[in-house]
Amino acid sequence: MQQVKAVVARSKGAPVEVVSINVPDPGPGEAVVRVQSCGVCHTDLHYREGGINDDFPFLLGHEAAGVVESVGADVTSVAPGDFVVLNWRAVCGECRACRRGDLHYCFNTHNATQRMTLEDGTELTPALGIGAFAEKTLVAAGQCTKVDPTARPAAVGLLGCGVMAGIGAAINTGGAGRGKSVAVIGCGGVGVAAIAGAALSGASPIIAVDIDAKKLAKAEALGATHTVDSSKGDPVEEIKRICAATYDGAEGADLVIEAVGRPETWKQAFYARDLAGTVVLVGVPTPDMKVPDLPLIDVFGRGGALKSSWYGDCLPSRDFPMLVDLYQQGRLDLDAFVSEEIGIGDIEAAFEKMHNGDVLRSVVIL
Ligand SMILES: NC(=O)c1ccc[n+]([C@@H]2O[C@H](COP(=O)([O-])OP(=O)(O)OC[C@H]3O[C@@H](n4cnc5c(N)ncnc54)[C@H](O)[C@@H]3O)[C@@H](O)[C@H]2O)c1
Ligand SMILES: [Zn+2]
Ligand SMILES: [Zn+2]
């Protein structure tokens, strides 16, 4: 066991604290990772606010890259010294989803079995089974995906959550590609990543929708061909108009990605897609939200697919090394997602900036 500095949320709504925690030596199937960088994601704030569950105290942070320090005796997939991006869906390989080949739906993903603790022995709940606002963290070995060790940790670590969710929503879940139009509603870290994914896929036009002009500028920098400020009017008609200008007869976008997590924006996505188009919900709604007044005949009559996307339907072992290589080749600008590099004591300020829409991602450097 060793002691390291880490960021803990002790109780609902209370500011996070930097404290000393105990990290056990890795047991079977586990690895200890020396964290180099960890992005600040909305989900960390949700944990702090008690919006995920009540299993306080939480060890926050889950968009991380680092170097494996030690592994359990039986671990062969990674070794000390490997540069890894951490993932929160280490597939089991044995559940019904895995056995039928749908590994991205694994119903029994793995985390470390031992618990990290406060100095007094109180067990911590690591955010998304990771807990990487910490100098070192204990994870399941399957949560470590080896990538090109010369890549910048602050940039590639973001593949561990929001950026992968967005790119995957476009490419894996939504099937974006050449000859298809894509609209993305909500251009935060996830939505802008969906735009970058759509651009990688060759889709065109790529229409970015947000209520914040700063976000639309970012979306344009990452591949949006058109922007729509939906604080100034209904974006549905504008999306239809842009798509019809490219594809004769189009009545909307082939793929519309909702990256806000609200009923009204999902409904915009529903009506902005072309006949037989696809809607992908990657934004996470709260349990009380409902879609009001949606005629069932519209669901039937418009055909197509209404999907949701968990973690961009990614397979870390397939997608992380590939996307890191695209980054290294200059074909995927992950640096553009890093708005600022901060210290471990700056997380409350980063939550504030995120709340105000001032950043795509603040990244803690450890
Ligand atoms: N499905 C997954 O696996 C997964 C993973 C990570 C995050 N998420 C979710 O994705 C969503 C987006 O995350 P993020 O980190 O990009 O958050 P964010 O807060 O950075 O971005 C949200 C964006 O939506 C915009 N917005 C708000 N209301 C809008 C409206 N009415 N119309 C248009 N735009 C609007 C905001 O201006 C902002 O740019 C969240 O719900 C988050 O929980 C999902
Ligand atoms: Zn499984
Ligand atoms: Zn996240």
| pLDDT value at residue 109 | 94
| pLDDT value at residue 208 | 98
DSSP state of 134: B
Q: Which ligand is nearest to the CA of 99?
A: 2
| pLDDT value at residue 286 | 86
Helix, strand or coil, per DSSP, at residue 146? strand
Q: Which ligand is nearest to the CA of 217?
A: 1
pLDDT in tens, the chain (366 residues): 999 999 999 999 899 999 999 999 999 999 999 999 999 998 999 999 998 899 999 999 999 999 999 999 999 999 999 999 999 999 999 999 999 999 999 999 999 999 999 999 999 999 999 999 999 999 999 999 999 999 999 999 999 999 999 999 999 999 999 999 999 999 999 999 999 999 999 999 999 999 999 999 999 999 999 999 999 999 999 999 999 999 999 999 999 999 999 999 999 999 999 999 999 999 999 889 999 899 999 999 999 999 999 999 999 999 999 999 999 999 999 999 999 999 999 999 999 999 998 999 999 999
| pLDDT value at residue 165 | 97
Residue nearest to atom 11 of ligand 1 (CA): 283
By the CB criterion, residues less than 5 angstroms from ion ligand 2 are 92, 95, 98, 106, 108
Q: Which ligand is nearest to the CA of 90?
A: 2
| pLDDT value at residue 212 | 94
233 alpha carbon – ligand 3 mean position (Å)? 30
Strands 30-39, 361-365: pairing kind: antiparallel
| pLDDT value at residue 287 | 86
93 alpha carbon – ligand 2 mean position (Å)? 5
Residue nearest to atom 17 of ligand 1 (CA): 188
Residue tagged 């009001």 (tokens): 292
Q: Which of 167, 173, 190 has the most ligand 1 atoms within 8 A of CB, as the residue to mutate?
A: 190
293: its two tokens: 């007044």
73: its two tokens: 């005796």
175 alpha carbon – ligand 3 mean position (Å)? 22
Ligand 1 residue neighbourhood (C-beta within 6 Å): 42-43, 161-162, 165, 185-191, 209-212, 215, 230, 259-261, 265, 282-284, 309-311, 357
Residues 6+ apart with CB under 8 A from 111: 90, 126, 129, 139, 140, 143
44 alpha carbon – ligand 3 mean position (Å)? 7
CA-CA distance, 163 to 184, in Å (whole number)? 14
| pLDDT value at residue 333 | 97
| pLDDT value at residue 214 | 92
**Residue 329: other Cβ atoms inside 10 A:** 8
261 alpha carbon – ligand 1 mean position (Å)? 6
325 alpha carbon – ligand 3 mean position (Å)? 22
